[in-house]
């Protein structure tokens, strides 16, 4: 189904009089690499309308269109006219996306959630908080039940849901498809794009024709976040999945798209065709609900031995599919394959939109309303 065919708001959404109106959304960190992807993806979104932008004091008070725009797609005129505000909890709509730098995201996102906002965050700060869902809508939508505990135990009027680290999203989606075969151990070596470091990112003399074999904190995120995402929600919170993951991460001179070389040991014997079918048939709640940002197939399986490649494949399916190819036997762990995903779309802004669509479709945004929280009491 095309996005244009899905113009109606999801059932369960409470919106102001004139139910045809889209849900107003805000954006914290609107000026950064991920923030600009949010702006681009929200342009013409069938359910959401971006009406409020915030960033640092450096940008506050300035017209968004007067700040540097670094995407090839044109900046929508209505957004260019908006004035960027400072980070003030209680200002802006109920639903806000956060693309804030981690140096400021921690406290700020808590304050927004406490003030009644539903925050969907890209930052790393709260991902491993036992009361905060670390969500991939196709993989662990049931973890949204943590929101009730957040409200009870943290006293927040709103909510906070986090988007996993970009490399983690691609590994976790591939391993999720293999859950019927009980993944036990996995190794992953990443080749990560420059846009993953934000703007201005890696110095040109380090990045050009080079491989940098260190990304601070990235390996630990892959190893621990994946276990939380694949984990089981019980009375005591999320029990991490027992799969042991060993990660090595590198930065390479690619603009967009993180490639991952993955080996995996399965607890249940599977044939080549069975593993391929598991990738091809993998689906989740976003596909069942036909959410606007959901790709028809979360995993795009490639048959050609020289695919997937970032330059050729990463923009396909709106950047929302994870590409998988080169499935073959691994003498060490059993199976190995290549995965590729768009780091600022499926690994960041697109993932955030899909989470927000799921929140809306499930009625978690029961108080969704236009205008600022302050203006609506």
Residues that bind ligand NAP (CB under 6 A): 29-35, 55-56, 58-59, 87, 99-105, 122-124, 166, 195-196, 198-199, 343-344, 347-348
Give dist(CA 155, CA 313) in Å, integer. Answer: 44
Give dist(CA 315, CA 363) in Å, integer. Answer: 31
What's the min distance (Å) between Cβ of 160 and ligand NAP?
Answer: 14
Measured at the alpha carbon of residue 158, what is the angle toward residues 93 and 30, in degrees to the nearest 5? 45
Active-site residue list: 166, 258
- Minimum CB distance to ligand NAP smaller for 147 or for 345: 345
- Minimum CB distance to ligand NAP smaller for 67 or for 245: 67
What's the min distance (Å) between Cβ of 30 and ligand NAP?
Answer: 6
* Strand ranges (E), the chain: 23-28, 48-54, 95-98, 118-121, 159-162, 183-192, 232-234, 237-239, 244-251, 258-266, 299-301, 322-330, 334-341
- Minimum CB distance to ligand NAP smaller for 69 or for 199: 199
Which residue, judged by CB position, is nearest to ligand NAP in the bound state? 32
Tokens of 196: 């993953």
What's the min distance (Å) between Cβ of 90 and ligand NAP?
Answer: 16
Under a CB-based contact definition with an 8 Å cutoff, are residues 38 and 352 in contact? yes
In DSSP terms, which residues pair with 337 in a beta bridge?
Answer: 262
- Minimum CB distance to ligand NAP smaller for 197 or for 276: 197
Instruction: Look up tokens 């399986």; give the residue.
Output: 301
What's the min distance (Å) between Cβ of 102 and ligand NAP?
Answer: 4
DSSP 315: T
């Amino acid at each position: 189904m095309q996005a244009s065919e899905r113009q109606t708001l999801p059932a369960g959404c409470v919106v102001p009089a004139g139910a045809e109106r889209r849900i107003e959304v805000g954006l914290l960190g609107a000026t950064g690499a991920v923030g600009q992807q949010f702006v681009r993806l929200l342009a013409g979104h069938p359910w959401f309308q971006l009406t409020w932008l915030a960033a640092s004091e450096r940008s506050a008070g300035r017209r968004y269109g007067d700040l540097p725009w670094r995407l090839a797609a044109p900046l929508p005129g209505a957004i260019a006219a908006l004035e960027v505000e400072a980070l003030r909890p209680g200002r802006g709509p109920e639903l806000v996306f956060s693309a804030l730098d981690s140096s400021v995201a921690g406290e700020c996102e808590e304050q927004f959630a406490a003030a009644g906002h539903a925050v969907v965050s890209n930052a790393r700060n709260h991902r491993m908080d036992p009361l905060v869902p670390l969500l991939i809508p196709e993989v662990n939508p049931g973890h949204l039940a943590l929101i009730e505990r957040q409200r009870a135990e943290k006293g927040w009027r709103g909510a906070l849901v986090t988007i996993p680290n970009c490399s983690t999203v691609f590994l976790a989606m591939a391993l999720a498809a293999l859950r019927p075969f009980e993944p036990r151990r996995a190794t992953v070596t990443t080749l990560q794009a420059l846009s993953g470091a934000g703007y201005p990112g890696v110095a040109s003399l380090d990045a050009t024709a080079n491989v940098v074999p260190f990304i601070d904190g990235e390996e630990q995120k892959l190893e621990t976040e994946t276990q939380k995402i694949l984990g089981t929600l019980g009375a005591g919170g999320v029990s991490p999945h027992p799969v042991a993951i060993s990660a090595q991460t590198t930065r390479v001179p690619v603009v967009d798209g993180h490639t991952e070389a993955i080996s995996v040991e399965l607890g249940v014997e599977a044939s080549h065709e069975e593993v391929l079918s598991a990738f091809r048939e993998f689906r989740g709640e976003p596909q069942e609900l036909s959410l606007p940002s959901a790709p028809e197939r979360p995993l795009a399986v490639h048959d050609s031995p020289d695919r997937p490649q970032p330059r050729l494949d990463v923009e396909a399916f709106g950047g929302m599919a994870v590409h998988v190819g080169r499935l073959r036997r691994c003498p060490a762990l059993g199976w190995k394959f290549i995965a590729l995903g768009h780091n600022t779309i499926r690994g960041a802004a697109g993932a955030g939109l899909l989470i927000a669509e799921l929140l809306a479709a499930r009625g978690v945004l029961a108080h969704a309303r236009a205008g600022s929280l302050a203006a609506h009491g």
